[in-house]
A and B are shown apart, each in its own frame.
Chain A
Amino acid sequence: MSEEDLHALVGHRLPGGTRTIEHWENWLLTDCTGSDQLGDDLVHPVALFHVPIQGAGTSIAELFELCGARGAGSVGLDGYDWEYFAPLREGVRYQIDGSVTEVERTVSEQTGRIADRFVYTIEMIDPDGVLIARVTNHWRIRR
């Protein structure tokens, strides 16, 4: 991917859509974390990785394609910034929208190898129009 093409990604809007977190999904997700089940329809906080992506009408595979990731070892996680304005709950239909917000190309002085920072932000809104959560994820794509 050229540097020009990389910078053209900023502002790219994800399709958007809605997403409901089902009980079975939350149960399995919570089990994967090693936690006891939370109860009271509460969704485990780690759902803020895949639910925003899927609800915004895309997928991890499509995001890899968008940022030009190729093969094992090409994608690294730099960090996450996840904000919870209210707890997530099972059975609620959230409106979800997001976009690519930042990119940056870096070149290693030692090896000359290129690595691109790729940042996207997605928001979740409940049926009353209240902002429930916002995620900003930072990936590093090794070229």
Chain B
Amino acid sequence: MTEVKIGTKVPSWTMEHVDAQRMKTMAAILRDPYEVHWDHEAVRPLGFDRVINQGPLNLSYLANMLMAWQGASCVRRLNVRFTLPVFEGDKLIAHGTVIDLEQVAGEHRATCDVHLDRGKETVMVGTAVVALDQAVSS
């Protein structure tokens, strides 16, 4: 397995096409009454013609990137800010870079700068802490 160091790039993860049908399923799971996620008539007065993705789904793409990198139970903390709305049909790419390494209760962890991009725009930014599968060196 590749050694993890400060500056290591987390392999990116791509959502090729944000799907309005998934937003509908998500709205039902969340019991989310906010119609901007599923009703085109609700977003038109806001100046949009596509429904808006749920914030948790945007965050899930960052989580998927981290789990694909270090395993399904690796996530220890997600701390993010939403900077722009995401719409149905958008292509998003999650990115991350290791900025710190530490050992907590015998567990090696990496803190990563993370961001979710739509083309040249960043729609979400923050930090994530993940448990590492292997010993690290700084």
Residues of chain A having any CB pair with chain B under 8 Å: 25, 28-29, 31-35, 38-40, 42, 44-46, 49-50, 54, 59-61, 64, 72-73, 75-84, 87
Contact = CB atoms under 8 A, between A and B. Distances in A.
Contact of B31 (A38, A59, A77, A87): A59
Contacts of B87: none
Contacts, number: 103
B82 interface: yes
Q: Taking chain A's interface residues, is the majority helix, strand, or loop, or is none over half, making it mixed?
A: mixed
B56 A60 contact: no
B67 A38 contact: yes
A32 B55 contact: no
Interface residues of B, number: 36
Nearest to B36: A72
B79 A77 contact: no
Nearest to B43: A72
Interface string B56-99: 11011101100100001101111111100000000000000000
Contacts of B82: 76-79
Interface stretch (B3-11, B21-29, B111-119): B21-29
Interface string B16-59: 00000010011001111111100000110110000000011101
Among all A-B residue pairs, the 8 with the closest Cβ atoms: A33-B60, A49-B56, A46-B60, A79-B81, A87-B73, A77-B55, A38-B72, A50-B30
Contacts of A35: 60, 64, 67
A28 B24 CA distance: 11
A77 B82 CA distance: 6
Contacts of B57: 32-33, 46
Chain A CB count within 10 A is highest, among B26, B36, B56, B77, for B56
Contacts of A59: 31
Contacts of B126: 79
B132 interface: no
Given A32-B57, A45-B75, A50 B15 contact: no
A46 B43 contact: no
